Amino acid sequence: MGEDNSILVKASVGTTGVSAEMKLPANVFAYLAPRIYRRRANKLAIESALLQKYLAGEAMTEAEQDYLPSASGAAEARLIREENVRRRAVEIAAVNAAELSAVQSPARLLEAIDSSPAPSRLSESERDWLAKFWDDAGLVSEEVMRELYARILAAPAAGAGKCSLQTLGVIRYLDSDVASMFGVLAKWAFNWRLIFAREVDLAAIGVPYKWLLELETAGLLEMRESVHVHLTQPYDAMRFGDWMFAFVGIEVPIKRMMLTRAGAELARVADLEHRLEDGFTSCRAVLRQGGGRVVYARLPHRRWLGERNDLTWFELPAEGADTTEPVLAGPW
């Protein structure tokens, strides 16, 4: 390359034959191979624009987040993926901040994620956890898995607890399809673990039996038919998203499925939306097995830790009944 960015081409015939040299303009390839030149120029322009957007901390679309690592070297791609997870975790914490402001300072929620503590302030177990987390999170490129790791990172700041190393090991081998299946099923879990809905109820909303088998193989679900839960206390109250259900006077074992420890931790940090109607369907399945009574109440927020007597309780509506005007529960 010459000082004026031109290209110097030299040629000779043998070692002692005629030689010649020619100076060509730097953009000669634009004339010799115009289509290749344009594609290359467009690629460089897109990469440059996306990199500037990324470094400026601007919001990026899913397609842009996927493209930038693929156009980078392995080390750079890993750093970009890790940063995408961290930024998404900050967004999740910000969304939760308003709801949890009565419990924790929103500024502290963001600070817990946005700034990394000095290594000297971390215990050995915390350093091991972070090393394992970023080893795995830096490899994910699919949106479903990126979202899952972001929620795991945001969970401690939002009061949802931290996933164990064992759970991180389970997630490492999940693919996006299984993770999506789990996201559907976990919306039916009471206390982030117990699933009372019958297989026929789950199949009706698109959770076939083969999904359950895949989730069991992945280490997220326990389907042993001999496992039962006893609801024998005066009332056993269980969380279900924004709701709480209390089971009254049920004194027989209730058949159910159960998320594993890893599944329960993921269900807690995923913070999925639970539909009230799905809670009704599950509770009716319980009543078919054990009689008794079910009442429910709406929680002030998902991390609520107050007294049950402070809630307003309603009777479980009969199947097919109008649910727009809930009936207040009597003494129970």
pLDDT in tens, 225-266: 545 666 666 567 889 999 999 888 777 677 778 899 999 998
- With helix as H, strand as E and coil as C, how does the chain read? CCCCCCEEEEEECCCCCCEEEEEECCCHHHHHCHHHHHHHHHHHHHHHHHHHHHHCCCCCCHHHHHHHHHCCCHHHHHHHHHHHHHHHHHHHHHHHHHHHCCCCCHHHHHHHHHCCCCHHHCCHHHHHHHHHHHHHHCCCCCHHHHHHHHHHHHCHHHCCCCCCHHHHHHHHCCCHHHHHHHHHHHHHCECCCEECCCHHHHHHCCCCHHHHHHHHHCCCEECCCCCEEECCCCCEEEEECCEEEEEECCCCEEECEEECHHHHHHHHHHCCCCCHHHHHHHHHHHHHHHCCEEEEEECCCCCCCCCHHHCCEEECCCCCCCCCCCCECCCC
User: Whole-model pTM above 0.85?
Assistant: no
The values of phi and psi at residue 294, to 5°, are: -130, 135
State the Cα–Cα distance between residues 21 and 6, nearest whole angstrom.
13
Asked if residues 167 and 266 have their Cβ atoms less than 8 Å apart, the reply is yes
pLDDT of residue 5: 54
Closest CA to 66 of 86, 55, 50, 48: 50
What token pair was written down for 295?
Answer: 């009442």
pLDDT tens for 140-153 read 777 888 888 888 88
Residue 102 has a pLDDT of: 44
Determine the angle formed by the axes of helices 165-172 and 143-154, rounding to 10 degrees.
170
| Every domain of the chain and the residues it spans | 174-332
The H or E element that residue 261 is part of is helix 261-270
Find tokens 């709406």 and name the residue: 298
Q: How confident is the model at residue 106, as a pLDDT?
A: 46
Q: Which residues of the chain have pLDDT under 70?
A: 1-47, 50-51, 54-77, 95-122, 156-161, 224-235, 252, 322-324, 330-332
- What token pair was written down for 77? 């791609």
The owner of tokens 């649910």 is: 323
Residue found under tokens 């842009």: 64
CA distance between the termini of the chain: 87
